Amino acid sequence: ALMVKLIAHLASTNREKQRVAARCVGDLVGKLGERVMPELMPIFMNTLSTDDAHVREGVCIGLAELINATTKQLLADYLSELIPAIRQAIIDDAESVRNSASSVV
């Protein structure tokens, strides 16, 4: 339920809600990385294929925060999922998604 709320706020057109949700993702991953990554990654990966560009943009914002907050080892464990997802987002039809995806790398 918390992750669904975070995704909703990351997808918000309200920049303040996006910023706070991104910070929450960063805090969760920074403090509980090994426990939340297995739950967070599938949600982000599945949500990245939604038809709603705002949601895809929000996922990219969340992924950028996740990558900045996680350890190198934990990040390495998820690279095989992250790279194709980011690659797909960088060539998204929506410019806002492409811009957010470019901040991930």
The residue ranges of every structural domain in the chain are 2-102
Mean pLDDT value of segment 9-24: 92
95 pLDDT higher than 80: yes
What pLDDT does residue 14 have?
A: 92
**Cβ–Cβ under 8 Å, residues 24 and 7:** no
Tokens of 25: 């993702």
pLDDT reading at 36 higher than 80: yes
Whether residue 104 has pLDDT greater than 90 = no
List Cα–Cα distances, 57 to 3, 7, 31, 77, 95, in angstroms. Answer: 16, 10, 24, 23, 9
Query: In this predicted structure, what is the pLDDT of residue 13?
Result: 87
If one compares 7 and 27, the residue with the highest pLDDT of the two is 27
pLDDT over 80 at 11, yes or no: yes
Domain 2-102, CATH: 1.25.10.10
CA atoms of 70 and 48, how far apart (whole Å):
20
